[in-house]
């Protein structure tokens, strides 16, 4: 059972596990400050869990909880609250903290869609020069979630990120390269370049070497941009 209709929910649509509740609904904009948006997600989450008789719960959180520059954000505080609630409300939980997931939608709060649109349409944006990001393609989630359901530790939090930390300036340059256009941006002295402890996730992936995942930043952006172009043609 999947709850949600966004990029992550659609990526997991073919995960075939009848006894698993995959909760992929809620606030997607990490800059969201409206309390009503978080209250709506919490109400749906609580209601879904209370009416759920399934054996396992998957809750998608965010790797942003590790980012020191976002420790006081409403989004991070809410995600940490929901992680704790999930672990206490269900006997068999997997918390999957996701990095920046690149998937095809019109949601401009998602990094890939934002940069593609800004560069393609020559829009000026602010670039936090100290910031780093970890990237993942949405299409990889189907495989990753399936592996974690089968082999993941019970009641465990996984930082689901490849070891591909990249500076935002490098990410923008790769988008420029694949779009064959120069980005227009203002440099802002902000952001953090933090490290994600992904050891248990990487170990699990390494144990399943038959998986064909896109883990390099250049590979991820190239594939994402190509897919966006195909959608628009």
- 85 pLDDT higher than 80: yes
How high does pLDDT run on average in the chain?
92
Q: Which helix (H) or strand (E) holds 148?
A: helix 138-151
Give dist(CA 120, CA 102) in Å, integer.
Answer: 16
For residue 53, give every residue at least 6 positions away whose Cβ sits within 8 Å of its Cβ, in sequence order, or none: none
166-167 vs 132-133, strand pairing mode: antiparallel
* Mean pLDDT (whole number) for 152-167: 95
DSSP 55: S
Q: What percentage of the chain exceeds 90 in pLDDT?
A: 76
Confidence band, pLDDT 50/70/90 cuts, at residue 231: confident
pTM score of the predicted model: 0.94
- 163 pLDDT higher than 70: yes
* Mean pLDDT (whole number) for 20-31: 88
CA distances from 218 to 38, 107, 165, 215, 222 (A): 34, 22, 11, 9, 6
* Mean pLDDT (whole number) for 198-219: 89
* Mean pLDDT (whole number) for 64-87: 94
* Domains along the chain with CATH numbers: 2-232 (3.40.50.720)
* Mean pLDDT (whole number) for 141-145: 91
CB atoms within 10 A of CB 198: 21
Give dist(CA 10, CA 14) in Å, integer.
Answer: 8
Tell me what pLDDT residue 159 has: 98
- 233 pLDDT higher than 70: no
Give dist(CA 6, CA 50) in Å, integer.
Answer: 23
Q: Which residue from 19, 16, 15 is spatially nearest to 141, judged by alpha carbons?
A: 15
Give dist(CA 218, CA 25) in Å, integer.
Answer: 29
Dihedrals phi, psi of 226, to nearest 5 degrees: -60, -45
Contact call for residues 1 and 131 (beta carbons, < 8 A): no
């Amino acid at each position: 059972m999947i709850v949600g209709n966004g990029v992550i929910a659609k990526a997991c649509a073919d995960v075939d596990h009848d006894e698993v509740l995959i909760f992929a609904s809620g606030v997607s904009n990490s800059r969201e400050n409206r309390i009503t948006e978080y209250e709506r997600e919490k109400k749906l989450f609580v209601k879904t869990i209370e009416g759920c008789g399934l054996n396992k719960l998957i809750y998608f959180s965010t790797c942003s909880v590790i980012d020191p520059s976002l420790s006081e954000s409403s989004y991070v505080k809410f995600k940490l609250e929901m992680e704790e609630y999930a672990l206490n409300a269900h006997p068999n939980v997997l918390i999957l903290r996701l990095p920046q997931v690149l998937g095809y939608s019109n949601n401009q709060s998602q990094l890939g869609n934002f940069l593609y649109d800004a560069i393609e349409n020559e829009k000026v944006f602010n670039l936090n020069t100290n910031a780093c990001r970890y990237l993942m393609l949405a299409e990889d989630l189907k495989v990753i979630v399936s592996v974690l359901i089968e082999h993941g530790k019970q009641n465990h939090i996984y930082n689901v990120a490849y070891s591909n930390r990249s500076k935002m300036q490098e990410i923008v340059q790769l988008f420029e390269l694949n779009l064959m256009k120069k980005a227009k941006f203002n440099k802002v002295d902000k952001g953090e370049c933090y490290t994600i402890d992904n050891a248990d996730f990487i170990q699990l992936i390494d144990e399943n070497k038959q998986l064909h995942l896109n883990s390099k930043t250049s590979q991820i952006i190239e594939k994402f941009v190509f897919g966006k172009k195909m959608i628009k043609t």
